[in-house]
Each structure stands twice: as structure tokens, then as C-alpha cells.
Structure 1
């Protein structure tokens, strides 16, 4: 019997398990593949195990629904909110993820995650590629652009260039110089998600590069709500990148596995 909690960050939903006492010690890949299923499991965009880690407040061990691993921005906000709920601390944490050490802040009822520095943007025709803890392909569209994000996402994700490692695919529309609309196809989920934190970060940073914004904040409207990305830019290098948004507890339950 495994106790779990369900959280979402702007509609990006996750199963969270307090594994500090190692209540789960089985095959995490198979567990994620089974219980992320929306028809035969709990249903989620990923599973996060919160575990003890020397030198930091906790380790965030994240798995996509297909069992693969990457850094997850929205998942990290949910992990921080969950760690706060179970008494690890007040939301101002240092935690470890697959891509390294991150900081978090809880301020004005929003969760702030310090992302890794980003160096380099790849230009691909009229599109872009950036790695923000997970790989992201960025394509811009106008108001009359009717591309289907799932069809377009699968076309790019399974192209010869990306099919081996996979990539997330994002369609971005400018609302203003510092506000964008974003839709994301996520690898591992292999479908559109209501939000993607690393995708919002990549889309915001590439947009800052396109609009030649040196610092500040870009608002990102996603299917499940609103996110913000703060940054400092020097050419194609970004530092002090903060992903900001909500994280909401939904329910808790017991998995009998």
C-alpha cells in the first residue's frame, strides 16, 4: 500500500510520493508506466518521488509516463509545494533534480524555481532549439496559423533528427513583446499537455532573444493557466532564470500495488 498525493501546476498534473522512508523500493519505471495511465491507473503527466539527499533539502526523482527521465519545471513547483505540505520546510528550498541543484522560493502564493543557466540557441530555418533541462523545439505562429500541435509535435519529435532522443515541441504566438501564448507537445507523454515548465522557459528565453530583451519578465499563457519567466540575457546566454507559477494540491489516495 503506497500513499500518494496528486498535484497540478497550471493543469500539468503529477503523482507525488513521499519516499524519504523508502516506502517504495521497486521498479520506478514500470510503476510510472502503470500508474500514469489515465485509463488503467491514477492518471498523470508524471510521477515524482521526494527522497532524502545529503547536502540539500530533498531529491526530486521524476519519471515521465513512459518511464523516461528529464527535468520538469512544473513538476518541480509541485514537488516544492508537496515538500512544504509534508513538513520539509516553508517552500524556500535547495533541492536536487536530474540536471543538478535548484533553489525555490514561495512568494505571493506562487512557487519560484531557479532554473539552470542556458547557453546557446540553435537556429533551424525559421525555428529554434534550446535545452532548459529538457530539449525544446520552438516554432512561432501567427494568428491565422492553424497547425495542430499534436500532429506538428509528432512530426518533429519523430523526425530523423530527434527520434532517437526525442524532443518537446512548442508553438508560440506573440501577444506583445513580453507576453506569449504557448502550446506544447511533450515527449514521454507523447501528447499535448496543459502546461510545460521547461517549455515555458525555453519559449520565453527564445522570445527574449528574438525581441532583443536583455532582462525582465515574460508572461506565458498556457492551456492550463499562466506562468512567468524572469531572466537576465547576454546575447544567447541566460542567467538568473526563474520559472514562476502556481502549484495546487488536488487529492491524496492509496495505491494497492
Structure 2
């Protein structure tokens, strides 16, 4: 339970999911019983010492035109932009709740998303938004895959101080106001190794779905790869795959594919 002694506390049932080590608190809020009042509620729930512990929190809410709506909060308590691994986890969650079966169309902050989920409910292929614009910042690539990302190719990523270097880039004069997620990538031949410093969490995470998507697209552009492509990616929390089409100008049919697993569920006072 949270250390919260307010008289108007109520029990809320939650589920903890993880996708390649990117972990989330999920709440079925179709009844709108969870009333978001301020940043502190989400901040407490995501706290790894005094709360449940997660990289973010998601509310699954009803929607008249879609199977459900995804409302995502960063671990700092603020409403966030699109979260790819969160999107995959909430699809697995929707299947667990019986809202969907093998396919879904749901609404997120960056628009509608289509997804496919395995019969076991633990693998999700999530379609991401199309990407047209990739800019350069020195040797790095900057693009938006539902969230803004900075992609820089490096060597010896295993031993790199991702926290310090990512924090410095995220807070430089160019990006400080809006923030940016900072990805470092090392090409290891048959796959890419990626580590990410995430805004909102303000730390390195074990995986970032929109981040690995951005990396796959940026590397395809850098290497002048065209056609229907598949990119295998290793992150600290496991393995992910990006599938997409690239005609040399625009990226389309982008899918973020990977595991999404229920860790535990319980009740908490908020």
C-alpha cells in the first residue's frame, strides 16, 4: 500500500505488465472510477520504493469508436506522448480483460493504432504511425515515432555511460524545453544493440518502444536500405523486432513487435 492516509482513499485494482523490461502499471478505467487529480498520484504509484514501481502508468478507458483508449502517464506523473512498449502491453491487457481477441484498433495520444496479439496473449505486433521527416543534428538523427527521438550511432555501447550522456543531450539548449528521448545504437551485424535515456522517466530504461522504432528507421536511412525491411534489436530487457516499408522517402507499415507479459496484480489505496 502507498503511504497515504487521506480520508478519501479508495482501493484501486491494478495490473503490472512488462515488455522487454519496460514496465507499467495498468488500470482498467472503463468505469472512470480512477480519478486522476494531480501528478503526485501517478508519481507515487510509479515510485519503486514507496509505490508499485514502473516506468509509467496507463489507463484503459472506453471509447465509442474504438475498442478502447490508452491514456499514458510518465513516471514523473505527467501525461506522456506515445509509448510503444506501453501500447503493446495495453493490447495484451485488453485481451486479458476479454475486450479483444486476436486484433484491435485502439486510440492513443498520437492517433489510432492497429495491433495483433498472439493466442497466448504474450506477444504483440503494434502498428506505429508513419514517419516522413528525419532531420540531422550533427551526426545524429532526430525523428518522431509518436514521441521525439535522438539517435546516435556509437561503438562500445555496453560500457558507455548512457545516463550521463543521455541526460546531457536531453537537457541541452536545443531540447531542454520539450525534452527528447536519447538513443544510442551499436550495429552488431545481425542485430542492433540499443540503450535509451527516456524523458519523463529521466533515466535509462530497459527498453523504449518508440525509441527502437526510431533507431531502426534512422539506420535504414543511414545505410540506404529500401523495401520491406525487418530489424532485430537487443535492449537491456530483451529482444524486439521492427518491420517496416521504406521507399527512400517515407516510412510506412511500421510494426513494433515483441513480448508483453503480466507480472502481477493487486490492490492499492489511492
| TM-score (structure 2 length as normaliser) | 0.92
Distance 2:97 2:14 in 1: 12
Q: Which has the higher mean CA deviation after the structures are superposed, 206-215 or 70-79?
A: 206-215
* 2:91 equivalent to 1:80: yes
Distance 1:164 1:26 in 2: 25
Alignment counterpart, residue 134 of structure 1, candidates 141, 147, 151: 147
Paired residues of 2:24 and 2:86 also in contact (CA < 8 A): yes
Paired residues of 2:134 and 2:141 also in contact (CA < 8 A): yes
SS at 1:119 equivalent: coil
* 2:32 equivalent to 1:22: yes
Deviations 1:169-209 (A, max 9, x none): 01100012x62000000000000100000001000110111
User: CA, structure 1 residues 150+236, in 2 after alignment: closer, same or farther (shift >3 Å)?
Assistant: farther
Partner residue, 1:191: 203
Alignment counterpart, residue 34 of structure 1, candidates 39, 44, 47: 44
Paired residues of 1:122 and 1:128 also in contact (CA < 8 A): yes
Paired residues of 1:80 and 1:91 also in contact (CA < 8 A): no
Alignment counterpart, residue 59 of structure 1, candidates 69, 73, 89: 69
1:146: Cα distance to partner?
A: 4.4
Q: Which has the higher mean CA deviation after the structures are superposed, 210-219 or 46-55?
A: 210-219
* Runs (5+) with no aligned partner, structure 2: 1-10
1:39: Cα distance to partner?
A: 1.3
Q: Which has the higher mean CA deviation after the structures are superposed, 9-18 or 59-68?
A: 59-68
SS at 1:6 equivalent: strand
The number of residues matched between the two structures is 256
1:249: Cα distance to partner?
A: 0.3
* Runs (5+) with no aligned partner, structure 1: none
Distance 1:203 1:50 in 2: 28
* 2:225 equivalent to 1:213: yes
CA RMSD of aligned residues (A): 1.4
Alignment counterpart, residue 97 of structure 1, candidates 92, 102, 108: 108
Partner residue, 2:20: 10
| TM-score (structure 1 length as normaliser) | 0.96
Paired residues of 2:157 and 2:184 also in contact (CA < 8 A): no
1:238: Cα distance to partner?
A: 0.3
Alignment counterpart, residue 165 of structure 1, candidates 133, 156, 178: 178
